[in-house]
Amino acid sequence: MSFTPINERIRILRLKGKFHNITLINVHALTEEKMEEEKDKFYDDLQKTYDRASKHDIVMVLGDLNAKIGKEKAYESVTEKNTLHDISNQNGEMVCNFAIENNMTVMNTQFQHKTIHKGTWISPDLTTANQTDHILINTNKKKTIQNVQTLRGPSCDSDNFLVKTIIKQRLIITPRRNTENRKK
């Protein structure tokens, strides 16, 4: 439906869906070494972009967030235990805080996969793998994502692997109230 570049690190792609339109906010976050002020500016821009997205859409934030998300109890509400890392780095904490503030879920950590399918970045010497690319979605729409895993086979001329996400849209039916109680 539309493509909108916000800046060199944030882009919006809006797709026509079967039941709900899908807004993809693609990001390339700053690395861990950058100054705190630069990171805060990036997350302020991301928040403004997220706030402008249609509330009726399935909104996903995805891309290279340069965030290692660990298994800390403080972030259990947005992650699960299926992450590659035990401890979050500063970028991971910022991603988790963004997800908590916006009622989102980090979907990479929701599915159990072999370790080889969790790493999204590999070092030039091919010895270290990190899970730094993530997919966040509104918590109330997270059931539309069936799976998220890394594809190691396709060559995309990058040190980051492709991340495959399976989305299955279905109409969400809200349960009806008990009509028997109303008749009495």
What are 84-140's pLDDT values in tens digits?
656 778 888 888 888 888 988 888 766 676 766 666 656 667 666 666 778 888 888
What are 144-184's pLDDT values in tens digits?
777 776 666 666 666 666 676 777 776 656 666 665 555 55
Q: State in words which class domain 2-183 has.
A: alpha beta
Closest CA to 118 of 147, 92, 77: 147
Q: Is-contact 155 144, C-beta < 8 A?
A: no
Collapsing DSSP states into helix, strand and coil, what is residue 11? strand
Task: Give the residue, 60 or 163, on which the prediction is more confident.
Answer: 60
> 10-15 and 104-106: which strand pairing?
unpaired
Token reading at 49: 């972009």
pLDDT at 171: 64
Going from N- to C-terminal start, the domains of the chain cover 2-183
Q: Give the confidence band of 48 by pLDDT, cuts at 50, 70, 90.
A: very high
3-state secondary structure 12-40: EEEECCCCCCEEEEEEECCCCCCCHHHHH
Residue 178 burial by Cβ neighbours in a 10 Å radius (0-12, 13-18, 19+): exposed
Q: What is the mean pLDDT of residues 52-65?
A: 86
